[in-house]
């Protein structure tokens, strides 16, 4: 039931060559990081395998090589590596700090020419959202360039996780990005279980699947509502928010937490659902599904809304592939990459998901993917709960823990995209832990999605991606 990992050892200099080979095999780079043992890169291939490449760093003047030409996400990842580990990248162009903001000035790229002006936005935005800075270069109404500066919510979590117990670690990692808490805790548990080779009972995996899909549904509903609001329809958002609040109140009843925090722990779950509650969930979802279909019909037939959503903030398939976008952003652009399908881990190995794919890549496409995925998640929860009900005993059983040290990888398709967590465990404590949010890949996508759109459409486009600041800055 564990993820298949191919471990590869190579010299630092050879990593570029390997990156090219994996790129040609249509693999994506999930993340890269530096730990005590060296520099790691992690790839997910379409052959349903994970490649974990490790290179030992030199003791004196260690460095890593620049993979940006093959995998653009590395441009920011390697700046973060320098900030956090003080390991520089050889021959890199951009050496500006990324996560640590010690220096007062930051050199934004200047756009010249007649009539070009800049609009600086943030770090505190004009709404109830997270902080980050956007620098627009604009001619008239049109956006010529957007440059982001992130890192404002940097909380030093990678450093904080060192030498923590698995329980403490799980609590912290569940707060890397609050709206994605289930996916993070799930991926962390998966990594820990793999590290010590613990086998997880089916009941535990099924319940985790239910929680993960519930998180997907609530975020998708909320996002579609917020997009409608940004297109000038607050009454429509209100309808989505009613569904969301109902759903959150149910979460509170089932799991004693509205956002399902701290429900998943390594080797066990912190909650259990009775047979009665499983039946109740099934009834709840029938009603939700019916209501959501009505709202989907309203969205699709509202010409004013569609006029705002269609052809706005287009991310073409080619662009999504080049930037290696992940999750809903990629799916809306016809670049479908779903960990639930690719890694086939129970319960997803037995209850396959279909492609919620569209190809237009505009805001309307990202709304449509959210609807499709919500309906699919409803169906998955119904299947998982039916399966759980077929067991004579649905309650909690912890897994046996065979050893106290090891290296493990967990990867889960959160609602934004794949959440990856890697752990090295020693004496039942975290030696180190690396985690990665798909927002790393998707933030640069936003810089391209707004090009040639008008400034007034930026909130709509931004909302349609709804990326995590905290998950990225961490």
Residue ranges in contact with another protein by CB under 8 A: 100-101, 123-124, 126-131, 151-157, 159-160, 171-172, 175-179, 181, 233, 235-236, 238-239, 241-242, 244-245, 248-249, 258-259, 261, 294-295, 297-298, 301-304, 468-470, 473
Q: State the Cα–Cα distance between residues 190 and 181, nearest whole angstrom.
A: 14
CB atoms closer than 10 angstroms to residue 170: 21
Signed CA dihedral, 73, 227, 145, 357: sign only: positive
4 vs 307, beta carbon nearer another protein: 307
137 vs 181, beta carbon nearer another protein: 181
The minimum distance between CB 412 and another protein, in angstroms, equals 18
175 vs 268, beta carbon nearer another protein: 175
Residue whose structure tokens are 């080049």? 322
Strand 406-413 and strand 268-269: pairing? unpaired
The minimum distance between CB 220 and another protein, in angstroms, equals 14
368 vs 387, beta carbon nearer another protein: 368
Tabulate helix, strand, coil % of the chain (nearest 5).
Answer: 45, 20, 40
**Strand ranges inside 248-344, DSSP E:** 264-265, 268-269
174 vs 347, beta carbon nearer another protein: 174
127 vs 352, beta carbon nearer another protein: 127
Let me know the angle formed at the C-alpha of 8 by 36 and 38, rounded to the nearest 5 degrees.
15
Residue of 34, 14, 19 lying closest to 82 (CA atoms) = 34
Q: Which helix (H) or strand (E) holds 288?
A: helix 275-301
The minimum distance between CB 168 and another protein, in angstroms, equals 8
The minimum distance between CB 80 and another protein, in angstroms, equals 12
| Contact assessment for residue 191 and residue 425, using Cβ atoms and an 8 Å cutoff | no
239 vs 385, beta carbon nearer another protein: 239
Instruction: Go through the chain and tell me how many residues it has.
Output: 474
The minimum distance between CB 462 and another protein, in angstroms, equals 14
The minimum distance between CB 101 and another protein, in angstroms, equals 4
For 220, how many CA atoms within 13 A lie in the half-sphere containing its CB?
A: 29
The minimum distance between CB 197 and another protein, in angstroms, equals 28
């Amino acid at each position: 039931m564990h993820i298949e990992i191919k471990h590869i050892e190579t010299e630092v200099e050879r990593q570029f060559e390997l990156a090219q080979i994996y790129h040609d095999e249509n693999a994506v780079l999930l993340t890269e990081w530096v730990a005590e043992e060296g520099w790691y890169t992690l790839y997910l291939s379409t052959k349903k395998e994970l490649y974990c490449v490790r290179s030992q760093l030199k003791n004196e003047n260690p460095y890593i090589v620049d993979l940006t030409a093959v995998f653009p996400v590395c441009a920011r990842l390697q700046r973060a590596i320098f900030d956090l580990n003080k390991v520089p990248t050889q021959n890199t162009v951009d050496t500006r700090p990324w996560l640590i903001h010690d220096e007062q000035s930051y050199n934004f790229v200047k756009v010249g020419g007649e009539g070009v002006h800049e609009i600086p936005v943030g770090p505190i935005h004009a709404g109830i959202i997270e902080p980050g800075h956007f620098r627009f270069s604009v001619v008239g109404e049109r956006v010529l360039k957007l440059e982001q500066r992130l890192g404002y919510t940097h909380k030093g979590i990678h450093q904080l996780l060192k030498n923590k117990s698995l329980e403490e670690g799980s609590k912290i990692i569940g707060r890397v990005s609050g709206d994605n808490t289930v996916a993070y805790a799930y991926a962390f548990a998966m990594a820990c279980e793999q590290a010590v080779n613990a086998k997880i009972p089916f009941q535990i995996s099924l319940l985790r699947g239910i929680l993960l899909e519930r998180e997907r549904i609530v975020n998708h509903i909320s996002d579609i509502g917020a997009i409608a609001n940004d297109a000038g329809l607050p009454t429509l958002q209100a309808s989505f928010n009613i569904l969301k609040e109902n759903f959150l109140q149910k979460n509170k009843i089932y799991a004693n937490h509205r956002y399902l925090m701290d429900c998943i722990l390594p080797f066990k779950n912190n909650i259990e659902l009775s047979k009665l509650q499983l039946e109740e969930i099934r009834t709840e979802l029938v009603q939700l599904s019916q209501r959501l279909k009505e709202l989907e019909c309203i969205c699709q037939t509202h010409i004013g809304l569609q006029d705002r959503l269609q052809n706005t903030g287009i991310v073409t398939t080619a662009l999504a592939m080049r930037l290696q976008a992940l999750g809903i952003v990629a799916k809306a652009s016809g670049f479908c990459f779903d960990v639930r399908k690719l890694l086939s881990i129970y319960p997803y190995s037995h209850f396959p998901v279909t492609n919620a794919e569209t190809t237009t890549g505009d805001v309307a496409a990202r709304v449509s993917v959210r609807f499709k995925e919500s309906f699919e998640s409803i169906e998955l929860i119904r299947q998982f709960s039916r399966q759980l009900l077929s067991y004579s005993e649905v309650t909690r059983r912890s897994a046996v823990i065979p050893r106290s040290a090891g290296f493990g990888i967990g990867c889960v398709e959160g609602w934004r995209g794949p959440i990856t967590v890697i752990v090295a465990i020693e004496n039942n404590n975290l030696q180190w832990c690396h985690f990665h949010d798909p927002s790393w890949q998707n933030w640069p996508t936003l810089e391209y999605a707004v090009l040639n759109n008008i400034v007034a459409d930026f909130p709509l486009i931004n909302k349609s991606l709804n990326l995590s600041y905290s998950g990225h800055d961490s």
